[in-house]
Amino acid sequence: MINTEINIAGVIWKNPVTVSSGTFGSGMEFDEYVDINKLGAVTTKGVADKPWAGNPTPRIAEVYGGMLNAVGLQNPGIETFCSRDLPFLQKKDTRIIVNVCGHTLEEYLNVVDRLADEKVDLLEINVSCPNVKEGGIAFGVDPHALNEVTKEVKKHAKQPIIMKLSPNVTDIAEMARAAVDGGADALSLINTLTGMKIDIERRKFVLANKTGGLSGPAVKPIAVRMVYQVAHAVDVPIIGMGGIQTAEDAIEFIMAGATAVSVGTANFYRPNVTEEVVEGIRNYMERHHIESLDEIRKCL
Amino acid sequence: MINTEINIAGVIWKNPVTVSSGTFGSGMEFDEYVDINKLGAVTTKGVADKPWAGNPTPRIAEVYGGMLNAVGLQNPGIETFCSRDLPFLQKKDTRIIVNVCGHTLEEYLNVVDRLADEKVDLLEINVSCPNVKEGGIAFGVDPHALNEVTKEVKKHAKQPIIMKLSPNVTDIAEMARAAVDGGADALSLINTLTGMKIDIERRKFVLANKTGGLSGPAVKPIAVRMVYQVAHAVDVPIIGMGGIQTAEDAIEFIMAGATAVSVGTANFYRPNVTEEVVEGIRNYMERHHIESLDEIRKCL
Amino acid sequence: MKEVETAEVISQEAFGGDIYSLWLDAPVTAKTAHAGQFVSVFTNDSSKLLPRPISLCEVDHENGRLRLVYRVTGETAGTKQFSLLTEGETIDILGPLGNGYSEFSKKPILLGGGIGIPPMLELAKEFAGQGLAKEDISVVLGFRDAAFLLDEFEKVATVYLTSDSGNTGIKGNVIDGIHQYDVKGDALYACGPKPMLRAVKAEADAKGIPAWISLEERMACGIGACLGCVTETKDVDDHSKVHNKRICKDGPVFNAEEVVL
Amino acid sequence: MKEVETAEVISQEAFGGDIYSLWLDAPVTAKTAHAGQFVSVFTNDSSKLLPRPISLCEVDHENGRLRLVYRVTGETAGTKQFSLLTEGETIDILGPLGNGYSEFSKKPILLGGGIGIPPMLELAKEFAGQGLAKEDISVVLGFRDAAFLLDEFEKVATVYLTSDSGNTGIKGNVIDGIHQYDVKGDALYACGPKPMLRAVKAEADAKGIPAWISLEERMACGIGACLGCVTETKDVDDHSKVHNKRICKDGPVFNAEEVVL
Ligand SMILES: Cc1cc2nc3c(=O)[nH]c(=O)nc-3n(C[C@H](O)[C@H](O)[C@H](O)COP(=O)(O)OP(=O)(O)OC[C@H]3O[C@@H](n4cnc5c(N)ncnc54)[C@H](O)[C@@H]3O)c2cc1C
Ligand SMILES: Cc1cc2nc3c(=O)[nH]c(=O)nc-3n(C[C@H](O)[C@H](O)[C@H](O)COP(=O)(O)OP(=O)(O)OC[C@H]3O[C@@H](n4cnc5c(N)ncnc54)[C@H](O)[C@@H]3O)c2cc1C
Ligand SMILES: Cc1cc2nc3c(=O)[nH]c(=O)nc-3n(C[C@H](O)[C@H](O)[C@H](O)COP(=O)(O)O)c2cc1C
Ligand SMILES: Cc1cc2nc3c(=O)[nH]c(=O)nc-3n(C[C@H](O)[C@H](O)[C@H](O)COP(=O)(O)O)c2cc1C
Ligand code: FES
Ligand code: FES
């Protein structure tokens, strides 16, 4: 009997596959491309206490084996999110993870407080978006700040919290320990790596923001390494992501130590990729006579 | 009149193109594939004071848009290098950059001292190889250690020194400043990013060393971003590298602020790529009526 | 569920000046497609992952076919690879995407500039399909140099030509064309580079008629999810709650009044 | 200067069991190629950058052709893409690379296991070319299950068959084959998986005859520059100054005495 269920901080998902924040909208946009009920969880686009306009365009650049984005966390704010996007997701048979962003600690807490009484399963705290100049970025690369923000969020949160880690650091294990010491119930990684593309014909940055976050298959080896390091440094469940586009990629993250996996950029070029990944994991388990993912998690 | 010459710490190269340490052997192996006289400089494989056996195999893994290596700085030692490899390079009409590695500060200094009276144009100090467990790695990611090692090397070196920076850090500009404060005459970046690949059928790391250094086109956006940051933080010439496989890639690094560029992994799959890059840069200059690369360096 | 469709190449033709015309057999996508919409076209190159948005130049509902006319932007560009496709080969597309032209006036002036010309063809055909006579459909085309698609346009519309080089029609842009040919109408429908669209908007303002313009931006998803492709709007947008609309989902065709160019 | 050669596919044949045979038109590479050498084969997939080392199964010097016989290792592998190549398509190769078999004995025993079988064919042909009679060239082949290349081998050598499944020849490996068929000779020449090569080395030791074995390792450059593909050696190697030789440049064929398996 194959059982694909996993457990993130007491929340059971029917399978280990979610989507990465910012790559699936609030789910609605993908409703006609993929059966959302088949996903273990949906992670929403980052939401702040007020609407954010995001960065000027161009916000997107294609690079070898991946992309850069500098969307800058455009979002409609928590009120619209709660009245429009949440009800849509609540009708689906999947777990809901709300990704939270802010410029300051206070803004994070406003969102966390507002979600206290909403039917939401997990909160993912994005302390690592490289496109926001204030607050966010400093939290994400300084272990002390990360520890502090985690403690504060944990005090307010009614749901288990996932701290999302930035890969743009010297020592990812240190960051993981700082978050877990602060009370993180789970960790997700990696967010995007800071990159740049220059248009040499026009002598201009391709992105209006100059730099953007690198994502897609190009980053996978870095992400797998970091998940492995974090899994050996702390004892909370990990949601692994970075370049996943096949079930084989997902299994690689699970073997590195991830409990769940998240598909990001691949949604943009294969809108039903998540269904394929869910099915492919099941096939792999069948082929290898694996009953539970516990058998292969962190197996090396 | 197009002039492709550049100047690294007083050493004039006929064009800005070199090869990345470890990807071109000592030049000899490429002699039948490319006219070495056409290169601005040759950078040798890292050399230590004694022969190093390197890591167990497998040392190589292919990943999306790039590769991982964990060669572990296998090298024949400085004596063989001086008696066999250097004379070969000295017969070529190109600049010679010797890449220096060691487990301890003393080992670095032994190599630097030994090279004092050799006809070598520049020394590149590899403080950033992620595959060496002792010494090297700590130097590469800690600004204080980097500053110290730079000062000591500078005291001993008879040639200008290039400090080669690791990308596996939170703040590359801080590292650059530490090296320049220590007396670095130039900087080169990026070395490889630490990555991992797991063979999910065998449930094993693909590399015997578990982790390896990620290189190739996949890393280019990160490398361009770091070169840009460093060029805006310090005032010494930069040799930019990371994923360069075309003249267009090279120009991108120059616009980001590099004085010279280095082709690495691409040598493995296009053995004469460097000649193409040299020629392509010249074509770009012609097409855009650029007489000197100064006109486009750091132009945005 | 909407899916990526693997379309078969029926024919490919080079128009010169790096412009190519591709007829695809894509019955599912063609079924509901109309003027102003676009398709996401995927390369077969695994280093180039993002789709290229390409507007529909013609839709043959009867035979389930689509025509794309596109410019090759460089020797290593994804579009270069499209241009090498030959009959019988396949290419993945997703669509039809976005909102096309939906307000049909009685005496439209269609304005196409450069690679913004192709989508005007399907629009002209749709106007003709609505029963408008050739004399009532004015099309002003602005070429770089040599003309393309002329025969097709002339079947359904009255065509006025301009070009940057002066080799096709009058030397000048489409706005010069409107003025010099004294083209009259009750609404403008335009696709072309941003400076042209700004001029179109100004022209519409001056004439006191509406202008429907098709915008471009770099895209990742093409389906409204990534927020990569926004354009600034005059008012707060109801979906985004900020002054932004998504070109891929809310557009690419907008009333010029709505957007800040 | 040695260059990457764009080879044209003459024919491709599936042997079953994921094994394919590819004849390439590659006059420059074929010119100097001989048994035991390999070529670096490049994919057309820009996400897979490294070359695949594939041994020469046959060299047709006269017509400038090479035969490669290879196993498809997975649905997303580079070799899978090779297997889809059809007549007239092209593929980039670099070679011939490495040192092949260079010591030719008078009564050789050639041992091929699995995908190590194909390179034995060119070797057998070279022995025949040196004037050895069929009776003096013994070839012991170890298949997984079904045999391939048999006709070709039987033209030039005396062939003994073994297989893992027992469906081809005796059930067992090539060493079992030597013993059960009582094959006699003055030197062993082997290509196959590492456990087989270890057994070959032991067999040569026991018989007091030399063994020439072809090794495999993951490669990046294929030309001796990256030091990716080393094998441990008994003595300090003169080039590397450590106990390592490069398989791509110093091998892939080694005297079994030299290397630590
Ligand atoms: C709604 C819409 C409709 C379009 N219709 C057409 C059309 O009918 N015919 C036509 O020739 N062109 C059209 N374009 C422009 C076309 O999308 C780009 O020229 C094309 O994507 C460039 O890709 P490439 O492979 O040539 O270049 P590359 O340099 O390989 O592209 C790299 C990346 O940048 C993106 N990109 C580069 N330039 C543009 C651009 N101008 N707009 C959007 N993305 C860009 C590409 O999609 C890709 O993701 C349209 C654009 C949009 C947004
Ligand atoms: C000198 C030499 C000669 C060889 N001759 C043959 C031959 O004649 N026929 C044949 O079928 N195979 C041969 N091999 C093995 C062949 O190189 C691998 O099976 C092949 O590279 C696997 O590539 P892939 O595209 O199938 O797998 P992928 O999984 O796509 O390969 C990923 C990467 O790993 C490398 N790799 C994976 N497995 C191996 C391996 N066993 N050895 C070396 N590199 C590997 C690939 O080259 C590539 O860089 C030889 C290997 C060597 C070293
Ligand atoms: C367009 C885009 C928008 C993103 N927005 C967010 C966001 O709002 N919050 C967040 O935590 N991560 C965001 N990310 C990061 C992704 O969630 C994910 O961590 C990253 O893309 C790596 O996964 P991938 O390689 O599979 O895309 C975004 C990524 C992309 C590409
Ligand atoms: C196989 C291999 C060996 C390398 N050996 C060295 C080395 O000895 N010393 C060093 O400083 N860098 C070494 N590097 C790093 C490269 O010099 C270069 O910094 C890196 O590969 C990024 O450039 P690329 O993406 O063009 O390869 C090595 C890289 C590879 C792939
Ligand atoms: S391209 Fe993603 S929202 Fe438009
Ligand atoms: S593959 Fe590079 S040395 Fe052998």
D120-149 pLDDT tens trace: 999 999 999 999 999 999 999 999 999 999
Contact B226, A193 (CB under 8 A): no
Separation between Cα atoms, residue A4 and residue A16, nearest integer Å: 7
Is B217's CB within 8 Å of C47's CB? yes
Among candidates B45, B57, B65 on the partner chain, residue whose Cβ is nearest the Cβ of D47: B65
Is A195's CB within 8 Å of B222's CB? yes
| pLDDT score of C30 more than 90 | yes
- Ligand 2 nearest atom to the CA of residue D71, by list position: 11
Q: Average model confidence (pLDDT) for chain D? A: 96
Q: Does D47 touch chain C (CB under 8 A)?
A: yes
Helical H runs in chain B? 78-80, 86-90, 105-114, 136-141, 143-156, 172-181, 220-231, 247-256, 266-269, 273-287
Contact B107, B127 (CB under 8 A): no
pLDDT of residue D17: 87
Where residue A129 falls among pLDDT bands split at 50, 70, 90? low
Contact A59, C218 (CB under 8 A): yes
In eight-state DSSP terms, residue A194 is E
pLDDT of residue C17: 87
Is A65's CB within 8 Å of D76's CB? no
Is D225's CB within 8 Å of B269's CB? no
Find the chain B residues whose C-beta atoms sit closer than 8 A to any C-beta of C. 64-65, 217, 246, 248
Separation between Cα atoms, residue D171 and residue D183, nearest integer Å: 16
Q: What is the pTM of this model?
A: 0.97
Interval A164-188: pLDDT, tens: 999 999 999 999 999 999 999 999 9
Can the peptide bond before residue A58 be classed as cis, meaning omega within 30 degrees of 0? yes
Phi-psi region of D57 (alpha: psi -120 to 50; beta: other; left: phi over 0): alpha
| pLDDT score of A130 more than 70 | no
- Substitution target in C47, C49, C50, C75 with the highest count of B β-carbons within 10 Å is C47
- For the four alpha carbons of D18, D21, D25 and D26, in that order, the dihedral sign comes to positive
Residues of chain D with Cβ-Cβ distance to C46 below 8 Å are 45-48
Burial of residue D165 (number of CB atoms within 10 Å: 0-12, 13-18, 19+): exposed
Of B136, B207, B201, the residue nearest B168 (C-alpha): B136
- Report how many Cβ contacts below 8 Å link chain A to chain D: 5
Task: Work out the angle at residue A61's Cα, subtended by the Cα atoms of residues C100 and B242, and round it to the nearest 5 degrees.
Answer: 160
- Substitution target in A35, A57, A265 with the highest count of C β-carbons within 10 Å is A57
Separation between Cα atoms, residue A229 and residue A257, nearest integer Å: 9
Q: Average model confidence (pLDDT) for chain C? A: 96
Can the peptide bond before residue B254 be classed as cis, meaning omega within 30 degrees of 0? no
The contacts of residue A234 (CB under 8 Å, 6+ apart) are A173, A176, A177, A180, A187
Q: Does B296 touch chain A (CB under 8 A)?
A: yes
User: pLDDT below 50 — which residues of chain B?
Assistant: 132-135
Q: What's the token pair of residue A30?
A: 């993908």
Can the peptide bond before residue B58 be classed as cis, meaning omega within 30 degrees of 0? yes
Interval D206-253: pLDDT, tens: 999 999 999 999 999 999 999 999 999 999 999 999 999 999 999 999
Min CA distance, B204 vs chain A (Å)? 6
Ligand 4 centroid from CA B262, angstroms: 10
| pLDDT score of D63 more than 70 | yes
| pLDDT score of A132 more than 60 | no
Where residue D13 falls among pLDDT bands split at 50, 70, 90? very high
Phi-psi region of C192 (alpha: psi -120 to 50; beta: other; left: phi over 0): left
pLDDT of residue A52: 96
**Cβ atoms within 10 Å of D166's Cβ, excluding its own:** 11
Mapped onto helix, strand or coil, the DSSP state of residue C253 is strand
Ligand 4 centroid from CA B46, angstroms: 9
In eight-state DSSP terms, residue A58 is P
What percent of chain B stands above pLDDT 90? 94
Contact C215, C252 (CB under 8 A): yes
pLDDT of residue B203: 97
Residue in this structure with the two tokens 């045979």, named with its chain if needed: D21
Contact D152, D134 (CB under 8 A): no
pLDDT of residue B129: 57
Interval A57-77: pLDDT, tens: 999 999 999 999 999 999 999
Interval B8-41: pLDDT, tens: 999 999 999 999 999 999 999 999 999 999 999 9
ipTM surpasses cut 0.90: yes
Rg (CA), chain A: 18
Helical H runs in A34-159? 78-80, 86-90, 105-114, 136-141, 143-156
Where residue A139 falls among pLDDT bands split at 50, 70, 90? confident
pLDDT of residue B137: 57
Ligand 2 centroid from CA D54, angstroms: 7
Is D47's CB within 8 Å of A217's CB? yes
Q: Which chain D residue has its CA at the smallest distance from A246's CA?
A: D76
When pLDDT is averaged across residues A27-47 and rounded to a whole number, the result is 97
The contacts of residue B202 (CB under 8 Å, 6+ apart) are none
